[in-house]
Structure 1
Amino acid sequence: MRQYIPRLYTFVGAITFLNVLCLVFLLPKFTMKTRPRESILNTPSTAIEERAPANARRKRAALSKPCCPQLSNYLVGTIKVDLEWAEKNYWTESNFEPSKWQAYLGEYETIPGEDVHLLNSENILHTPRYCRTSLRVAFIIPFRAREPHLKKLVGHLTPILRRQLETYSIFVVEQHSNRTFNKGRLMNTGFEFANMIGDQLGGKFDCFVFHDVDLLPERDDLLYRCTEGSFVDHLAPSIDKFDYKPLCCGMTVGGVLAFKSDQFRKVNGFPNSYWGWGGEDDDMNIRIRKQALKIARPDPKIGRFTMIKHRRDQSNPRNIKALQELKKSWVISENDGLVNLDTEIKEFHLYPLFTKIFVDVKVPPDI
């Protein structure tokens, strides 16, 4: 037993020596991490920026990026419209777990309608990652009870807008009640809200795209932008449902229509008087011609869209009074639209990819 005692002393001595070395060399590194609290005058500028308001930080970060090219290098032209993939991509882009519940769009933040000041660019505006653009596009999607279509549209559209290097916001404007649907009032409300919120997001929108929820573009080189001059852009002249025949079956400016702000005010927006399905697009066509604006359309091979098949909402019956309203449109359009809009925004739901706006469109006159 005694022969092992010297070895034991040697082992204990080695362990003690190693502990001393650790204290000598490592203790200063740990003590350096703790320092007295500094005043803001001695705080690095990067640390001060972290405490700045989110909008201000984002604006400074955007200005530090180079300008995006006028035409993106990421465009591929024809793209496959895969509805199953589009819905899967919606969940991927939203960072949500997929759900079998068709009406479920994922988690959201609720903001009351009167607290519009709480909205900011962090939760509404989508920008290119590595460059900055001078143009801002607002998408306005009239909506009610079409969640499966909305997931497919947003899941399909988001990567396209990213490749186009767009700065954009998507506003899904939903009718708050189950009364007869009024698409014109929803689109007018979406425009007024987007126009108002622009300054709050750091700059007004340059182009307002009114987009049906069931139309998916088949090419990514169909740019969602407004043409310069006195042109209104009708972007969906060719739809698969009509065998891609341009402006088939009495189509005028329906589907996807883009205005600049001053143009939309000039035509007094969409009519408020069309309750039910049909009529408001034809009425808008009359308003555009009445104000001597021109309609620009892409090449039919570029402006191609796939329409998602669906059954009509029972609360959106065919408007049997549409023809009567159209006959009066040239005369009454100046008094029916933005100037007499009386809707009310109830609340906002903030999703990762879009903002949903719940709107009370009031009661139809015949109820």
Structure 2
Amino acid sequence: MMPRKTLPVMRSVNRTFLKELETKWGILPGGRWAPPSCNSKHFVAIVVPYRDRSEHLDLFLQHMHPFLQRQMLQYGVFVVEQSDRHAFNRAKLFNIGFTEALARDSYCCFVFHDVDLLPIDARNLYRCERFPRHLSSAVDVFRFVLPYPDLFGGAVAVRADQFRELNGFSNEFFGWGGEDDDLQRRIRARDMSIVRWPSSVSRYTMLAHAKAEPSAQRQELLGNAESRHDMDGLNNLRYQVLALEERPLYTKILVDVDPPPVPAGKSVPGLVDVQSMRGRHTASDSGVV
């Protein structure tokens, strides 16, 4: 493995550099990029769940685009924003990002990534291989030590076919905590292994943020996790796309994660209900407004 290459982390937003990223780095609308001089072996979607973290998002974008381009990846950045009044549902936003990204292109690798985590070693490769990979196993706020052996959160890389086999994340975790442990149990139940780079490589810094509201039901949900895996996830996903915009550095997908029931015979623009559709929707179904 090549010698450690520690990357600089900007702790304040540099508007001039963000504008340079938009105009001089070859990034296409929607936050898409491909190496100009070769065909990348890896086609990666970066999916970021989001609400009310505008400064973190700017810091994430100004750090991640140069980081990803160093690795000569073909990639796209999808920021899935929860608009509604409900407690934050990070896992469901990941499921939505997966579904919406595949409705637009044939991504084979997905990195599910918190907006407040930034990789600080250039050797941390954002790609998918044989097994799901926990990318962020050494975070500065945890003194670069894995908090517990089964942790599979923060930033993880999963092949598209594996994520389908897992039925994605659970849709039931409103509030902080539990959804990563649920996904880890899905992985183990499918006899998949979780792999990590050495802790000297998988190093991250976490941006300061207020403590999130915990999920009141997380322990109960984890207690019956195995019984829900086949019926709670991608195959019962229901949400409404309120707006979709290809911004210069990312694709913004604004969603209601828990839209109200629709009366019989009515249609709602942007509503995605997997159970009622009997098949995956296409990009034209996404209700761009």
Q: d(CA) in 1 for partners of 2:134 and 2:68?
A: 18
Question: Secondary structure of 2:65's match?
Answer: helix
Q: d(CA) in 2 for partners of 1:321 and 1:85?
A: 36
Contact preservation (8 Å) 2:41, 2:73: no
One-letter code of the match for 2:136?
A
The aligned runs of 1:344-363 (5 Å cut-off) are 344-362=240-258
Question: Secondary structure of 2:188's match?
Answer: helix
Larger Cα-atom Rg: 1
The aligned runs of 1:8-47 (5 Å cut-off) are none
Q: d(CA) in 1 for partners of 2:4 and 2:75?
A: 20
Cα displacement string for residues 191-249 of structure 1 (whole angstroms, at most 9, x for unaligned residues) = 01112211xxxxx112000000000000112110001x3x101101000001101x215
TM (normalized to structure 2)? 0.83
Q: d(CA) in 2 for partners of 1:84 and 1:95?
A: 20
- Higher share of residues assigned helix: 1
Question: Secondary structure of 1:209's match?
Answer: strand
Shift of 1:132: 2.4
1:188 aligns with 2:116: no
1:145 aligns with 2:55: no
Shift of 1:181: 1.1
- Report how many residues are paired: 258
Q: In the alignment, which residue of structure 2 is the partner of 1:123?
A: 29
Shift of 1:123: 2.5
Q: In the alignment, which residue of structure 2 is the partner of 1:236?
A: 136
| Among candidates 191, 195, 206, match of residue 307 of structure 1 | 206
Q: Which deviates more from structure 2 when the two are superposed, residues 295-304 or residues 178-187?
A: 178-187
Question: Secondary structure of 1:335's match?
Answer: coil
Q: d(CA) in 2 for partners of 1:240 and 1:335?
A: 37
Q: In the alignment, which residue of structure 2 is the partner of 1:35?
A: none
One-letter code of the match for 1:237?
S
Give aligned-pair identity as a percent.
36
| Among candidates 78, 90, 101, match of residue 18 of structure 2 | 90
| Among candidates 273, 277, 281, match of residue 180 of structure 2 | 281
Contact preservation (8 Å) 2:60, 2:115: yes
Q: d(CA) in 2 for partners of 1:294 and 1:281?
A: 15
Q: In the alignment, which residue of structure 2 is the partner of 1:217?
A: 119
Cα displacement string for residues 336-355 of structure 1 (whole angstroms, at most 9, x for unaligned residues) = 10010011212112211111
Q: d(CA) in 2 for partners of 1:76 and 1:87?
A: 29
Cα displacement string for residues 2-34 of structure 1 (whole angstroms, at most 9, x for unaligned residues) = xxxxxxxxxxxxxxxxxxxxxxxxxxxxxxxxx
Contiguous gaps of at least 5 residues in structure 2 = 261-289
Shift of 1:317: 1.7
RMSD of aligned residue pairs (Cα, Å): 2.4
Q: In the alignment, which residue of structure 1 is the partner of 2:264?
A: none
Cα displacement string for residues 305-341 of structure 1 (whole angstroms, at most 9, x for unaligned residues) = 00000113xxx52112101100100111111100100
Contact preservation (8 Å) 2:171, 2:233: yes
1:208 aligns with 2:110: yes
Shift of 1:91: 3.5
Are residues 249 and 295 of structure 1, via their aligned partners in 2, closer, same or farther at CA, if it must alter by over 3 Å?
closer
Contiguous gaps of at least 5 residues in structure 1 = 1-70, 97-120, 199-203
One-letter code of the match for 1:151?
D
Question: Secondary structure of 1:309's match?
Answer: coil
One-letter code of the match for 2:29?
N
Q: d(CA) in 1 for partners of 2:69 and 2:259?
A: 39
Q: d(CA) in 2 for partners of 1:238 and 1:271?
A: 25
Contact preservation (8 Å) 2:86, 2:174: no
TM (normalized to structure 1)? 0.66
Q: d(CA) in 2 for partners of 1:240 and 1:182?
A: 25
Q: d(CA) in 2 for partners of 1:356 and 1:274?
A: 22
One-letter code of the match for 2:147?
C
Shift of 1:84: 2.4
Shift of 1:251: 6.2
Question: Secondary structure of 2:29's match?
Answer: helix
Runs of 4+ in 1 over 6 A off after TM superposition: none
Q: d(CA) in 2 for partners of 1:192 and 1:285?
A: 20
Q: d(CA) in 1 for partners of 2:14 and 2:66?
A: 10
Contact preservation (8 Å) 2:76, 2:250: yes
Question: Secondary structure of 2:132's match?
Answer: strand
One-letter code of the match for 1:336?
D
